[in-house]
């Protein structure tokens, strides 16, 4: 378990980059998601009933590309956008904390090739990363990366950090993997997933709260919490939402994040009934933290199951929500984001807009 608080300063989000089937930049993706745009296509892969598997794919990428190659293209595009401010400010080195696919989520991928590409694309900024800064925890991975990034800033081991997530389940082998498991949504599977893909990276630095007025477009990470579900998606026992309820409880008791309700909830989950029931149980145990009335947005509604990229995409989406919520609000708006991996890892955070 882990709980993040901000002390005298707060980790501020000072750069963003995203790449999804909805847009090649953070702004394009944010606007399209806010508009309710969807881009699902029939693939050449057939499910167990002979129906084409539908997926949210970036059509600029050739269908024959491997999972590694798709992730490379998505990640490099998002990374370079996120580093624009870093280059302008002359930042020479950046620790990178990165969420990657969890084992068993599709075909294998070559993380070394991916990371070498990211290092090369980041020049002149030098990315610093190691196995300890890679989080193979699916939809929860970004929150574990974010938590570690905030710890680096708070302990003054780094002045700037880069946190991100990337995944693709749209390569041919991954599509077949999910189709063979009978997990893809279709006429014979009403409670399934639509595979997706995407990437997002964010530049963070510890900024005094007194600087809010000088950073009108920035947002702050005011709290994060990690947990684990003992009765996860991959085992047959009933899920009583022990882990997610605990993550929400940590935020509810947080000295900053728990002081009032959030304005909106962003979920990284797939839309399957397992996850909907889990959230309902956790929500009821932590209703004082939640929006009133309850409002939620699911990443899968726009992009399908984007795996390890889900946290980063919803994090970027939250920045757009905060800009919209700020208009006419008496209080600084807040958004809660959470993600749960199939193997039981759970992460959540609350980010707050500028005054």
pLDDT in tens, 171-194: 999 999 999 999 999 988 889 999
Fold of 7-208: Peroxisomal Thiolase; Chain A, domain 1 (3.40.47)
- The pLDDT assigned to 216 comes to 66
pLDDT at 248 over 60: yes
- For residue 131, what pLDDT band results from cuts at 50, 70 and 90? confident
3-state secondary structure labels for all residues of the chain: CEEECCCCEEEEEEEEEEEECCECCHHHHHHHHHCCCCCCEEEEEECCCCCEEEECCCCCCCCCCCHHHHHHHHHHHHHHHHCHHHHHCCCCEEEEEEECCCCCCCCCCCHHHHHHHHHHHHCCCEEECCHHHEECCHHHHHHHHHHHHHHHHHCCCCCEEEEEEEEECCCHHHHHHHHHCCCECECCECCCECECEEEEEEEEEEEEHHHHHHCCCCEEEEEEEEEECCCCCCCCCCCCCHHHHHHHHHHHCCCCHHHCCCCEEEECCCCCHHHHHHHHHHHHHCHHHCCCCCCEEECHHHHCECHHHHHHHHHHHHHHHHHHHHCCCCCCCEEEEEEECCCCEEEEEEEEECC
**Backbone CA torsion sign across 203, 209, 215, 217:** positive
Judge whether 7-208 and 212-353 match in fold: yes
pLDDT at 1 over 60: no
pLDDT in tens, 309-331: 999 999 999 999 998 886 556 68
What is the pLDDT averaged over residues 281-289? 97
pLDDT at 41 over 70: yes
Instruction: Write down the mean pLDDT value for the chain.
Output: 93
pLDDT in tens, 99-111: 999 999 999 999 9
What is the pLDDT averaged over residues 74-93? 95
- The CATH number that domain 212-353 falls under is 3.40.47.10
Domain range annotation of the chain: 7-208, 212-353
């Amino acid at each position: 378990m882990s709980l993040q608080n901000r002390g005298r300063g707060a980790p501020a989000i000072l750069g963003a980059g995203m790449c999804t089937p909805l847009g090649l930049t953070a702004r394009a993706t944010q606007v399209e998601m806010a508009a309710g745009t969807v881009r699902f296509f029939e693939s050449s892969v057939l499910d167990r009933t002979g129906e084409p598997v539908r997926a949210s794919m970036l059509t600029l990428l050739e269908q024959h590309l491997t999972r590694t190659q798709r992730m490379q293209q998505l990640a490099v595009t998002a990374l370079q956008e996120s580093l624009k401010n870093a280059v302008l400010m002359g930042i020479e080195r950046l620790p990178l904390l990165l969420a990657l696919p969890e084992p068993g989520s599709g075909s294998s991928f070559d993380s070394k090739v991916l990371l070498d590409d990211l290092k090369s694309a980041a020049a002149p900024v030098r990315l610093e990363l190691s196995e300890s800064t890679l989080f193979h925890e699916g939809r929860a991975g970004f929150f574990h990366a974010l938590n570690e990034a905030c710890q680096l800033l708070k302990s003054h081991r780094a002045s700037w950090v880069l946190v991100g997530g990337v995944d693709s389940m749209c390569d041919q082998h991954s599509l077949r993997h999910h189709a063979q498991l009978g997990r893809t949504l279709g006429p014979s599977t009403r409670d399934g997933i639509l595979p997706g893909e995407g990437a997002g990276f964010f530049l963070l630095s510890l900024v005094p709260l007194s600087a809010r007025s000088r950073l009108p477009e920035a947002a702050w990470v005011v709290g994060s919490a990690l947990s684990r579900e003992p009765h996860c998606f991959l085992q047959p026992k009933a899920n009583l939402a022990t882990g997610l309820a605990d993550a929400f409880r940590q935020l509810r008791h947080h000295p900053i994040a728990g002081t009032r309700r959030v304005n909106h909830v962003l979920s990284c989950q797939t839309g399957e009934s397992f996850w909907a029931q889990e959230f309902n149980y956790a929500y009821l145990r932590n209703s004082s933290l939640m929006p009133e009335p309850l409002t939620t947005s699911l990443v899968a509604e726009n992009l399908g199951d984007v795996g390890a990229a889900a946290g980063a995409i919803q994090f970027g989406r939250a920045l757009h929500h905060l800009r919209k919520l700020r208009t006419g609000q008496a209080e600084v708006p807040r958004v809660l984001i959470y993600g749960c991996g199939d193997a039981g890892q759970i992460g959540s955070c609350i980010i707050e807009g500028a005054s």
